[in-house]
Amino acid sequence: MNRPDALTPDQSRAREAVRGMSRPAADPAFRARLRGQFVSGTIAPAARPVVGLVPFIARPAVRWGGAVLAAAAAFVVVSLLNQAPDWRMRTVSGDGIVVVDGVPVPIAHAADLERRLRAGARVQVPAGVRIELMSEGQLAIQFSPNTEASVPGLPGRWFGRAGTAELRSGELRVTTGRGFHGARLAIETPEARVEVTGTTFALICEPAGTCLCVMNGRVKIGARAGGAMHDVIEGRRRYVFADGRPDESADMRHTEHEPLGEFRDRMRGSLGAR
Amino acid sequence: MTPDDRPAHPASPSVSTTGDSPAGPGAALPRHVLERVRAHDPQALGEFYDRYVDRVFGLALRLLGERAVAEDITSEVFLKVHRAAAQLDASRDPAPWLAAITTNACRDLWRSGAHRMNRRSDSLEDAPGLAERLTRGQDEPEREALAREREGLVRQAIEALPENLRVAVVLHDYEGLDHLEVAKITGIEHAAARKRYSRALEALGRSLKETLG
Alpha carbon A193 to its chain centroid, in Å, reads: 22
- Are the C-beta atoms of residues B185 and B177 closer than 8 Å to each other? yes
Whole-number pLDDT of residue B15: 42
Same-domain check for residues A137 and A65: no
Q: What is the CATH number of domain B14-116?
A: 1.10.1740.10
Mutation test of the interface with chain B: which of A18, A31, A56, choosing the one with the most B Cβ atoms within 10 A?
Answer: A18
The CATH number for A141's domain is 2.60.120.1440
DSSP type of residue B177:
-
How far is Cα A42 from Cα A35, in angstroms, rounded to an integer? 10
User: Looking at domain B124-213, which CATH architecture does it have?
Assistant: Orthogonal Bundle (1.10)
10-residue mean pLDDT series, chain A (274 residues): 65 88 87 91 67 48 76 76 77 88 88 88 92 88 93 77 86 87 85 85 91 90 83 92 89 91 83 60
Residue in A with minimal Cα distance to B7: A19
CA atoms in the 13 A half-sphere facing the CB of A61: 1
The candidate with the shortest Cα–Cα distance to A10, out of B191, B154, B133, is: B154
The candidate with the shortest Cα–Cα distance to B126, out of B165, B173, B160, is: B160
Same-domain check for residues A199 and A117: yes
Q: Is A18 part of a structural domain of the chain? A: no
Residue A192: which H helix or E strand, with range?
strand A192-206
Please report residues of B whose CB lies closer than 8 A to that of A35: 46, 49-50, 53
Please report residues of A whose CB lies closer than 8 A to that of B116: none
Q: pLDDT digits over B150-176, tens only?
A: 888 888 889 889 999 999 999 999 989
Whole-number pLDDT of residue A82: 65
Q: What's the mean pLDDT in B38-54? A: 93
* CB-nearest partner of A45 from B76, B150, B208: B76
Residue B50 sits at the chain A interface (C-beta within 8 Å): yes
Residue B45 sits at the chain A interface (C-beta within 8 Å): yes
Residue in B with minimal Cα distance to A6: B2
Residue B191 has pLDDT above 60, yes or no: yes
Q: pLDDT digits over A113-171, tens only?
A: 988 998 889 999 999 999 999 988 888 999 999 999 999 888 776 666 678 889 999 99
Domain ranges of chain B: 14-116, 124-213
- Are the C-beta atoms of residues A197 and A274 closer than 8 Å to each other? no
Pairing of strands A162-176, A184-188: parallel
Cα–Cα distance list, A269 to A42, A143, A265 (Å): 69, 20, 8
Q: What is the CA radius of gyration of chain A?
A: 34
The candidate with the shortest Cα–Cα distance to B157, out of B109, B201, B114, B198, is: B201
Same-domain check for residues A72 and A131: no
Q: Is A181 part of a structural domain of the chain? A: yes
Cα–Cα distance list, A82 to A72, A78, A124, B135 (Å): 15, 6, 29, 74
Its domain, for residue A51, covers 28-81
